[in-house]
Amino acid sequence: MEDERQTLESGLFFIIGTGRCGTTLLQAMLSQHSRLLVPLETGFLTNLEPAIHFSDPLSDSDIDPYLDYCIQYWWWPALGIESERFCQLVRGGMRSAQEIFLWLLWQLAAGSGKVKIGEKTIGNWRRVDRILELFPKAKLIHIYRDPRDVVASLLNQEWWTAKSVVPTAIYCREVLAILKVRERNLRENQLLQVKYEILATQPELELKRICNFLDEEFEPQMLRFDSRSDRGYVDAEADWKDLTLKPLTKKRIGVYRELLTPQEIWTVERILGKLLIEYDYKPDSKIYQRLQWWIPYLAERIKWGLKCFLIGGASRFVDKNPVLKKLSESLTAST
């Protein structure tokens, strides 16, 4: 296992983003490469990493509570990990976050023949410092998309709890602002920024750049991601990830114009401010500011600010229950 762990760690990379920004598309493209694989989301660094609720490395007294926590974690059945074997290894000495994560990733990649494994989980943008603490040589790929399209898409998801533009746009601003700072502070060869719109319209050119970042050669089959045999996600996620089983299209670029009202578009642009320009997006020239928009905008900003103050920060935006229900149904159907 030690040789396998070192091999896996040396080529480790992470895909990060806001969600609804092209992470699954990039996952599908990279996984078509003969040497690259991005398996389904683990949720490890956002939920299962020992230091979050226990200690790293795990103390003797933490072992059983940690194992119970992992096995009862709602996403654990989706991973398909053999729980008995996992418990045996942890009790036998696999105690550190680094060891546990690499083992889980290796299990998800078992039989693939791939030598470089990546991971993507929607909340990993919050854990960049921890990622680099655990894996200093890991590479990060930040894929981003027009924040107005991201907001419009998030609001259309049943698992997204923020049902209005203001908190959703604030969320996008937070992610993009944090990752912009990381871009300035990390080495040039450690973080790569990928613009969804370029990937969707010039896929070969952009994939060559990404492969170069990962020290790999571009392979033409990466463009045929829609015909892949391994989807990279479970049935419970099909409603919002099945588009990656279809050929690339430009139709999703600028879709916010159909899904958001002029007032909502203006609101997103107002909240993003200069970040919109920094990520090379321009304010919509067809939207003209109206004085009456300011009152509801300011009211919701104040309301959201008070909510965050009273509860000590923004509440979680992802509701696991719709996904959990579908996951339970799919697992029941497969047994």
Domain holding 211: CATH number?
3.40.50.300
The rounded distance, in Å, linking the Cα atoms of 175 and 187 is 19
- pLDDT value of residue 212: 98
Q: Output the pLDDT for position 308.
A: 75
307 and 317 inside one domain: yes
Residues 261 and 176 placed together within one structural domain of the fold: yes
Same domain, residue pair 213 and 325: no
Distance CA 97, CA 104 (A): 11
Tens of pLDDT along the chain (335 residues) come to 566 677 788 899 999 999 999 999 999 999 999 999 999 999 999 999 999 999 999 999 999 999 999 999 999 999 999 999 999 999 999 999 999 999 999 999 999 999 999 999 989 999 999 999 999 999 999 999 999 999 999 999 999 999 899 999 999 999 999 999 988 888 878 999 999 999 999 999 999 999 999 999 999 999 999 999 899 999 999 999 999 999 999 999 999 999 999 999 999 999 999 999 999 999 998 888 899 999 999 999 988 888 776 665 545 688 888 888 888 887 777 65
The secondary structure element, H or E, covering residue 69 is helix 63-72
Residue among 5, 16, 9 nearest 140 (CA): 16
Whether 163 and 303 share a structural domain: yes
Q: Are residues 200 and 180 located together in one domain of the fold?
A: no
pTM, two decimals, is 0.94
| 332 SS3 class | helix
Same domain? 168 vs 282? yes
Q: Whose CA is closest to 17, among 175, 185, 226?
A: 175
The per-residue pLDDT for 3 is 65
Final residue of a domain: which of 251, 269, 297?
251
- What is the rounded CA–CA span in Å between residue 140 and residue 125? 10
Residue that finishes a domain, picked among 230, 251, 272: 251
Domain boundary among 251, 269, 294: 251
**Which pLDDT value is given to residue 325?**
86
What pLDDT was estimated at residue 133?
96
- Among 207, 169, 196, 173, which Cα is nearest to 253's? 196
Statement to judge: residues 91 and 54 lie in one domain: yes
Q: Name, in order, each residue with C-beta under 8 angstroms of 42's C-beta and a sequence gap of 6 or more.
A: 48, 79, 101, 104, 105, 108, 119, 121
159 and 267 part of one domain: yes
Domain that holds residue 112: 1-145+191-251
Q: Which helix (H) or strand (E) holds 152?
A: helix 147-154
Q: How many domains does the chain have?
A: 2
Beta strands in 52-205 (DSSP E): 116-120, 139-144, 191-195
Task: Tell me the one-letter amino acid at 171.
Answer: Y
